[in-house]
Amino acid sequence: MQSRAVAVGCGLALAAASAGLVFARSTVDSYDANIMVHVTESMVQRHNLLVPHSVDPFNLNSPYSFYGLGMSLLFAPFYIAAEHLHQDAIAWAMSANAFVFAATVVVLFRLAQALGGDLRHAVTTACLTGFGTLLLPYTSTGFSEPSVALATALGLLGICLARSRPTSGSMLAGASAGLALLMRTDSLLLIVPFLLIGSWLEARQQGWPADAGNPSPDVKRGSRPLTSKRWLNVGLFLTAFAPFALTVAWYNMLRFGAPWRLGYGAQGFGHPWLTGAWGLLFSPGAGLLWYVPLLVLAVAGWALACRRMPVLVGTSAALLVARIALYAAWGDWPGLVSWGPRFLVPAMPALAVGIGEVVRRFHRLPLAVKLAVPAIAALSLAVQLVGSSVRPEANHMIQAVILISTNEPGSQVGCASVAGPTRPGPDQVLFDWRCFPITDEAQQLLHGQALLTGQYLGPPVDERRLGLLTLLLAAGLDVALVVSGGRETAGELR
């Protein structure tokens, strides 16, 4: 079975990397990516971490960037390889998230196995979570959120393994927390504590009960071995976390003058919280429910699995809820200019815990639910295809928000009036269903308008390489589905 799992993982990696490269951009897509790529350029060419003033139009990230160092380090091998091969270094760097996406899908496959699914269940869970959530549209960006999502997936896998393999599981969770911190400093609040607490609590027993739960004798007695194992898990977690934390502290010392300074402070946290929270869940501009319909299955799966694996379900839910709670108060709560709620992307792997439970129990679900599950999955996959194919800055809602935010003159931008004494605020546009980006961009996709400008999608379209990537995508999925189709025992931690 181990060799079959490896073959399936390789097939998924090939398919996911090919899909990511199909949408890879040839130029930087945002101010954030521009700054992080230029840190890479300084690192490679000038052996420092300075950002030239000439590439920072807002003068916010020079001479040092306040973004995490992780993405610049991730870009570096792609940048160096491109220079040695006399290729476009920026384009190669912008391909990095395609490989991050591939790694995330493979980790999700392994996570689904560890949660008790067989190979076919694990493949289904990994594909739904990878291709049916915000992970896919963000492969074409230079944002750090996909890498934080990879760290989240690795951290959840580490917690799963912490019971039966405390050394490797706890150290994996700790290293994952460190990777998340290296990518984004908000991980110090949004990921590190939850992975640490999860590692602490998962030291209860060997494996999960197959039914509603029969805790081990050690849990009932509150014995000393339980306490010792918990402290061992915490110590291993912190040991793996320390190198990443020290790197971030050194970088903070270099750019801010003190290791504990993060560069953000409380700036931007003045937005009405309830408005932001409602917007992140239900607004047409960034409501997670509309951009990831699979959220319904994930929440249902959490409810089904909460007695069998309460710590993992609680950790997964906390990773999502904490992001909503923090960014609801942020002035730019949707994370413009982007597809859907950008700041919730790192929590997408947490949905795999619930989705995997629904997939695992699918044969036992009522007929009506069995009919609804594939419909929801198909809708979620279609939404991600739209988000991956059309430039987000081209939809009318974002155009209107940009005009309002920059106080540029305008009268009508597709769906919203932005002129006169009743000029709306950004939130009014983001809550305006007439400007719904999903239907707006779906129409643009059907008419071939505002399509993503990429390395292979063009213009002009590189038909030969695009055809090769499509063939590799199909081949990878074929390998994963065929090899996983046989009979085998369920996951080891079931």
Supply the DSSP string of 190-253, one letter for each residue.
Answer: HTHHHHHHHHHHT-SSSS--SSS----HHHHHT-HHHHHHHHHHHHHHHHHHHHHHHHHHHHHH
CA distance to 35, 143, 192, 426, per residue, from 72 (Å): 9, 11, 21, 31
Q: Do 211 and 144 belong to one domain?
A: yes
For residue 299 the two structure tokens come to 């929440």
Q: Do 326 and 249 belong to one domain?
A: yes
Q: Do 285 and 432 belong to one domain?
A: no
Q: Which of the four pLDDT bands, split at 50, 70 and 90, describes residue 263?
A: confident
Q: Do 210 and 338 belong to one domain?
A: yes
Report the amino acid identity of residue 311: V
Mean pLDDT of the chain: 90
Residue 326 phi, psi dihedral angles, 5° rounding: -75, -50
Q: Is residue 312 part of a domain?
A: yes
Q: Do 293 and 410 belong to one domain?
A: no
Q: Is pLDDT at 493 greater than 50 in this prediction? A: no
Residue 443 neighbours by CB under 8 Å, 6+ apart: none
Site of tokens 């040991």:
239
CA distance 349 to 343: 13
- pLDDT tens digits for range 336-387: 889 999 999 999 999 999 999 999 999 999 999 999 999 999 999 999 999 9
Q: Is residue 262 part of a domain?
A: yes
Q: Which of the four pLDDT bands, split at 50, 70 and 90, describes residue 403?
A: confident
Q: Is residue 275 part of a domain?
A: yes
CA distance 335 to 348: 16
Residue 43 DSSP one-character state: I
Question: Given this model, what pLDDT does residue 494 score?
Answer: 42
Sign of CA dihedral 192, 319, 118, 378: negative
Q: Do 411 and 288 belong to one domain?
A: no
The pTM (predicted TM-score) of the whole model is 0.92
Q: Do 385 and 398 belong to one domain?
A: no
Q: Do 274 and 411 belong to one domain?
A: no
Q: Do 381 and 429 belong to one domain?
A: no
Report the amino acid identity of residue 103: A
Strand partners, 179: none
User: What is the number of structural domains in the chain?
Assistant: 2
Q: Do 175 and 232 belong to one domain?
A: yes
Q: Is residue 140 part of a domain?
A: yes
Q: Do 135 and 200 belong to one domain?
A: yes
Question: Given this model, what pLDDT does residue 409 score?
Answer: 58
Q: Which of 434, 450, 466 is the last residue of a domain?
A: 450
441 three-class SS:
helix
Q: Is pLDDT at 211 greater than 50 in this prediction? A: no
CA distance 173 to 179: 10
Q: Is residue 455 part of a domain?
A: no
- pLDDT tens digits for range 166-206: 889 999 999 999 999 999 999 999 999 999 999 988 865 54
- For residue 220, the enclosing domain spans 2-26+94-389
Q: Which of the four pLDDT bands, split at 50, 70 and 90, describes residue 451?
A: confident
Q: Is residue 436 part of a domain?
A: yes
Q: Do 156 and 279 belong to one domain?
A: yes
CA distance 135 to 69: 21
Q: Which of 358, 389, 420 is the last residue of a domain?
A: 389
- Quote the percentage of the chain above a pLDDT of 70: 88
- pLDDT tens digits for range 147-158: 999 999 999 999
Q: Is residue 55 part of a domain?
A: no
Question: Given this model, what pLDDT does residue 218 score?
Answer: 42
> Is it true that the peptide bond before 358 is cis, omega within 30 degrees of 0?
no
The answer to whether the CB of 142 falls within 8 A of the CB of 74 is no
Q: Which of 372, 389, 406 is the last residue of a domain?
A: 389
Q: Is residue 145 part of a domain?
A: yes
- pLDDT tens digits for range 64-123: 999 999 999 999 999 999 999 999 999 999 999 999 999 999 999 999 999 998 999 999
